[in-house]
Amino acid sequence: MGNQRKTIVALHGAGMTGAVFGGMAPHLLEHSFRALTFPGHDAKADSALLHDIAGMAAWVRSRLENGPDDVVLLGHSMGALAALAACDAPQVKGLVLIGAAAKMPVNADLLKTAQDTPNDAIGMIVKWGIFAGHPQVGAVRTVLSSIMHAANPEAVGAGLAACNNFNDGAALAKAVKIPALVISGDQDKMVKTADAQAFAQSIPGAEFGVLKDCGHTPMVEKPIDTAHMLRDFILAKIS
Protein backbone atom coordinates (compact mmCIF):
# COMPACT_ATOMS: atom_id res chain seq x y z
CA MET A 1 0.00 0.00 0.00
CA GLY A 2 3.02 2.32 0.04
CA ASN A 3 3.93 4.76 2.79
CA GLN A 4 1.24 4.46 5.45
CA ARG A 5 2.30 7.51 7.49
CA LYS A 6 -0.25 10.23 6.85
CA THR A 7 -1.02 13.71 8.10
CA ILE A 8 -4.33 13.68 9.93
CA VAL A 9 -5.91 17.14 10.04
CA ALA A 10 -8.76 17.26 12.55
CA LEU A 11 -11.61 19.80 12.50
CA HIS A 12 -13.77 20.32 15.58
CA GLY A 13 -17.47 20.99 16.05
CA ALA A 14 -19.40 24.13 17.00
CA GLY A 15 -18.23 25.89 20.14
CA MET A 16 -15.22 23.62 20.57
CA THR A 17 -11.51 23.85 19.78
CA GLY A 18 -8.86 21.45 18.52
CA ALA A 19 -8.36 20.34 22.13
CA VAL A 20 -11.39 18.10 21.78
CA PHE A 21 -9.21 15.60 19.85
CA GLY A 22 -6.57 15.40 22.58
CA GLY A 23 -7.59 11.93 23.71
CA MET A 24 -7.15 10.46 20.23
CA ALA A 25 -3.71 11.80 19.36
CA PRO A 26 -1.65 9.46 21.61
CA HIS A 27 -3.20 6.47 19.86
CA LEU A 28 -2.21 7.62 16.38
CA LEU A 29 1.50 8.13 16.87
CA GLU A 30 2.33 6.37 13.59
CA HIS A 31 0.82 9.41 11.84
CA SER A 32 1.28 13.17 12.08
CA PHE A 33 -1.77 14.52 13.92
CA ARG A 34 -2.79 18.20 13.64
CA ALA A 35 -5.95 19.41 15.36
CA LEU A 36 -6.91 22.82 14.00
CA THR A 37 -9.03 25.45 15.74
CA PHE A 38 -11.32 27.47 13.51
CA PRO A 39 -10.96 31.27 13.55
CA GLY A 40 -12.94 32.94 16.30
CA HIS A 41 -13.24 29.82 18.44
CA ASP A 42 -10.11 30.35 20.53
CA ALA A 43 -11.06 32.91 23.17
CA LYS A 44 -7.42 34.03 23.43
CA ALA A 45 -6.92 34.61 19.71
CA ASP A 46 -7.84 37.82 17.91
CA SER A 47 -9.69 36.42 14.89
CA ALA A 48 -13.17 36.78 13.47
CA LEU A 49 -15.70 33.97 13.48
CA LEU A 50 -16.59 32.25 10.22
CA HIS A 51 -20.35 32.11 9.81
CA ASP A 52 -20.85 29.52 7.09
CA ILE A 53 -19.49 26.13 6.08
CA ALA A 54 -18.19 27.42 2.75
CA GLY A 55 -16.03 29.98 4.55
CA MET A 56 -14.72 27.32 6.92
CA ALA A 57 -13.86 25.06 3.99
CA ALA A 58 -11.98 27.89 2.26
CA TRP A 59 -10.02 28.47 5.47
CA VAL A 60 -9.16 24.75 5.67
CA ARG A 61 -7.95 24.76 2.07
CA SER A 62 -5.72 27.75 2.85
CA ARG A 63 -4.20 25.86 5.77
CA LEU A 64 -3.44 22.88 3.53
CA GLU A 65 -1.66 24.91 0.86
CA ASN A 66 2.09 24.35 0.65
CA GLY A 67 1.78 21.53 3.20
CA PRO A 68 1.96 17.75 3.05
CA ASP A 69 0.24 16.01 0.16
CA ASP A 70 -0.90 12.99 2.20
CA VAL A 71 -3.69 14.51 4.29
CA VAL A 72 -6.57 12.63 5.86
CA LEU A 73 -9.27 15.14 6.81
CA LEU A 74 -11.06 14.22 10.02
CA GLY A 75 -14.10 16.27 10.95
CA HIS A 76 -16.61 16.17 13.78
CA SER A 77 -20.14 17.56 13.42
CA MET A 78 -19.68 21.13 12.09
CA GLY A 79 -16.08 20.23 11.30
CA ALA A 80 -17.29 17.21 9.33
CA LEU A 81 -19.33 19.48 7.06
CA ALA A 82 -16.29 21.71 6.57
CA ALA A 83 -14.15 18.64 5.83
CA LEU A 84 -16.69 17.41 3.29
CA ALA A 85 -16.68 20.81 1.58
CA ALA A 86 -12.87 20.99 1.55
CA CYS A 87 -12.03 17.40 0.62
CA ASP A 88 -11.57 18.24 -3.05
CA ALA A 89 -8.28 19.93 -2.16
CA PRO A 90 -5.46 18.06 -3.94
CA GLN A 91 -3.61 17.36 -0.68
CA VAL A 92 -6.53 15.34 0.72
CA LYS A 93 -6.28 11.58 0.20
CA GLY A 94 -8.93 10.42 2.69
CA LEU A 95 -12.00 11.70 4.52
CA VAL A 96 -13.34 10.72 7.95
CA LEU A 97 -16.61 12.22 9.18
CA ILE A 98 -17.83 11.81 12.77
CA GLY A 99 -21.32 12.62 14.02
CA ALA A 100 -22.54 14.05 10.73
CA ALA A 101 -25.28 13.78 8.12
CA ALA A 102 -26.03 15.44 4.79
CA LYS A 103 -28.39 17.81 6.59
CA MET A 104 -27.90 18.84 10.21
CA PRO A 105 -30.82 20.98 11.35
CA VAL A 106 -30.44 22.29 14.87
CA ASN A 107 -33.15 22.16 17.52
CA ALA A 108 -34.79 25.60 17.55
CA ASP A 109 -34.57 25.94 21.33
CA LEU A 110 -30.89 25.03 21.32
CA LEU A 111 -30.15 27.46 18.49
CA LYS A 112 -31.89 30.36 20.25
CA THR A 113 -30.23 29.54 23.55
CA ALA A 114 -26.82 29.37 21.86
CA GLN A 115 -27.29 32.84 20.47
CA ASP A 116 -28.82 34.41 23.60
CA THR A 117 -27.15 32.59 26.50
CA PRO A 118 -24.29 30.48 25.14
CA ASN A 119 -23.23 29.07 28.49
CA ASP A 120 -26.67 27.50 28.86
CA ALA A 121 -26.37 26.05 25.35
CA ILE A 122 -23.03 24.49 26.26
CA GLY A 123 -24.75 22.77 29.15
CA MET A 124 -27.41 21.42 26.79
CA ILE A 125 -24.81 20.14 24.31
CA VAL A 126 -22.78 18.48 27.05
CA LYS A 127 -25.93 16.78 28.37
CA TRP A 128 -27.30 15.67 25.00
CA GLY A 129 -23.95 15.04 23.32
CA ILE A 130 -22.58 12.50 25.83
CA PHE A 131 -24.21 9.10 26.26
CA ALA A 132 -25.81 9.09 29.71
CA GLY A 133 -24.85 5.44 30.20
CA HIS A 134 -21.12 6.03 29.71
CA PRO A 135 -19.28 4.40 32.66
CA GLN A 136 -17.46 7.69 33.30
CA VAL A 137 -20.21 10.04 32.20
CA GLY A 138 -19.43 12.69 34.82
CA ALA A 139 -15.74 12.88 33.95
CA VAL A 140 -16.41 12.88 30.21
CA ARG A 141 -18.97 15.65 30.52
CA THR A 142 -16.51 17.65 32.62
CA VAL A 143 -13.85 17.35 29.91
CA LEU A 144 -16.17 18.47 27.13
CA SER A 145 -17.62 21.28 29.25
CA SER A 146 -14.15 22.57 30.11
CA ILE A 147 -13.12 22.65 26.45
CA MET A 148 -16.27 24.47 25.38
CA HIS A 149 -16.23 26.99 28.23
CA ALA A 150 -12.63 27.85 27.35
CA ALA A 151 -13.67 28.78 23.81
CA ASN A 152 -15.19 32.06 22.60
CA PRO A 153 -18.79 31.95 23.87
CA GLU A 154 -20.09 33.40 20.60
CA ALA A 155 -18.67 30.46 18.66
CA VAL A 156 -21.31 27.95 19.68
CA GLY A 157 -24.19 30.01 18.30
CA ALA A 158 -22.34 30.87 15.10
CA GLY A 159 -21.33 27.25 14.54
CA LEU A 160 -24.77 25.80 15.16
CA ALA A 161 -26.31 28.37 12.82
CA ALA A 162 -23.79 27.42 10.13
CA CYS A 163 -24.81 23.76 10.45
CA ASN A 164 -28.50 24.64 10.43
CA ASN A 165 -28.13 26.71 7.25
CA PHE A 166 -25.98 24.22 5.33
CA ASN A 167 -27.83 22.69 2.37
CA ASP A 168 -25.03 21.38 0.14
CA GLY A 169 -24.32 18.10 1.93
CA ALA A 170 -26.10 15.76 -0.47
CA ALA A 171 -24.46 17.22 -3.59
CA LEU A 172 -21.01 17.34 -2.03
CA ALA A 173 -21.34 13.76 -0.76
CA LYS A 174 -22.05 12.44 -4.25
CA ALA A 175 -18.98 14.26 -5.59
CA VAL A 176 -16.45 12.71 -3.17
CA LYS A 177 -13.74 10.90 -5.12
CA ILE A 178 -11.47 9.69 -2.29
CA PRO A 179 -11.82 6.93 0.32
CA ALA A 180 -14.23 7.97 3.05
CA LEU A 181 -15.40 6.71 6.42
CA VAL A 182 -18.44 7.90 8.37
CA ILE A 183 -18.46 7.14 12.12
CA SER A 184 -21.54 7.31 14.34
CA GLY A 185 -22.23 6.65 17.99
CA ASP A 186 -25.22 4.36 18.33
CA GLN A 187 -26.60 6.59 21.12
CA ASP A 188 -26.13 9.89 19.28
CA LYS A 189 -29.08 12.16 20.09
CA MET A 190 -27.90 15.05 17.92
CA VAL A 191 -27.32 13.22 14.62
CA LYS A 192 -29.26 9.95 14.42
CA THR A 193 -27.30 6.86 13.46
CA ALA A 194 -29.76 6.14 10.64
CA ASP A 195 -29.09 9.59 9.16
CA ALA A 196 -25.33 9.09 9.45
CA GLN A 197 -25.64 5.72 7.72
CA ALA A 198 -27.70 7.22 4.91
CA PHE A 199 -25.02 9.89 4.59
CA ALA A 200 -22.33 7.23 4.24
CA GLN A 201 -24.37 5.40 1.62
CA SER A 202 -24.59 8.60 -0.43
CA ILE A 203 -20.79 8.92 -0.60
CA PRO A 204 -19.36 6.70 -3.36
CA GLY A 205 -17.55 3.72 -1.83
CA ALA A 206 -17.68 5.08 1.72
CA GLU A 207 -17.49 2.85 4.76
CA PHE A 208 -19.73 3.20 7.81
CA GLY A 209 -18.66 2.45 11.36
CA VAL A 210 -20.74 2.43 14.54
CA LEU A 211 -19.41 2.81 18.06
CA LYS A 212 -21.53 1.00 20.62
CA ASP A 213 -22.75 2.84 23.74
CA CYS A 214 -21.47 6.17 22.42
CA GLY A 215 -23.12 9.53 21.85
CA HIS A 216 -22.32 12.50 19.62
CA THR A 217 -18.68 12.98 20.67
CA PRO A 218 -16.78 9.72 20.09
CA MET A 219 -13.39 11.44 20.22
CA VAL A 220 -14.12 12.34 23.86
CA GLU A 221 -16.29 9.39 24.91
CA LYS A 222 -14.31 6.63 23.18
CA PRO A 223 -11.04 8.17 21.98
CA ILE A 224 -9.13 4.89 21.76
CA ASP A 225 -11.84 3.06 19.81
CA THR A 226 -12.28 6.03 17.51
CA ALA A 227 -8.54 6.28 16.89
CA HIS A 228 -8.30 2.57 16.14
CA MET A 229 -11.18 2.79 13.68
CA LEU A 230 -9.41 5.68 11.94
CA ARG A 231 -6.07 3.87 11.95
CA ASP A 232 -7.58 0.71 10.46
CA PHE A 233 -9.31 2.75 7.75
CA ILE A 234 -6.07 4.45 6.76
CA LEU A 235 -4.20 1.14 6.68
CA ALA A 236 -6.81 -0.58 4.53
CA LYS A 237 -7.94 2.17 2.19
CA ILE A 238 -5.31 4.88 1.75
CA SER A 239 -2.05 4.18 -0.03
- Asked if residue 216 lies in contact with residue 99, where contact means CB atoms within 8 angstroms, the answer is yes
pTM score: 0.96
H or E element: which one contains 9?
strand 7-11
- 114/64 Cα distance (integer angstroms): 30
The pLDDT of residue 190 = 95
Radius of gyration (C-alpha) of the chain in whole angstroms = 16
Q: Look at residue 132 and give its three-state secondary structure.
A: coil
- 170/175 Cα distance (integer angstroms): 9
pLDDT band at 14 (very low <50, low <70, confident <90, very high): very high
Q: How confident is the model over 37-87, as pLDDT tens digits?
A: 999 999 888 789 999 999 999 999 999 998 899 999 999 999 999 999 999
Q: Look at residue 8 and give its three-state secondary structure.
A: strand
The pLDDT of residue 56 = 98
Which sign does the torsion angle of CA 74, 167, 63, 50 carry? negative
The pLDDT of residue 43 = 86
- 47/31 Cα distance (integer angstroms): 29
- Asked if residue 100 lies in contact with residue 34, where contact means CB atoms within 8 angstroms, the answer is no
Q: How confident is the model over 76-125, as pLDDT tens digits?
A: 999 999 999 999 999 999 999 999 999 999 999 999 999 999 999 999 99
- 69/92 Cα distance (integer angstroms): 7
Domains of the chain: residue spans and CATH: 7-237 (3.40.50.1820)
Alpha helices (H) in the chain, listed in sequence order: 53-64, 78-86, 108-116, 118-129, 137-149, 154-164, 169-174, 193-202, 218-221, 223-237
- 74/168 Cα distance (integer angstroms): 19
